[in-house]
Amino acid sequence: MEPKIFCQSCTMPIDNMEDRGTEKDGSKSSEYCKYCYQHGSFTDPGMTLDKMKNIVTTQMQKMNLPASLLQQSLDYLPRLKRWQKA
Q: What is the mean pLDDT of residues 8-18?
A: 96
Question: To the nearest whole number, what is the mean pLDDT of the chain?
Answer: 95
Domain boundaries, the chain: 17-83
Q: Which of 57, 56, 66 is nearest to 33 (CA)?
A: 56
> pLDDT tens for residues 53-72?
999 999 999 999 999 999 99
More confident residue, 3 or 29: 29
Q: The whole model's pTM is what?
A: 0.90
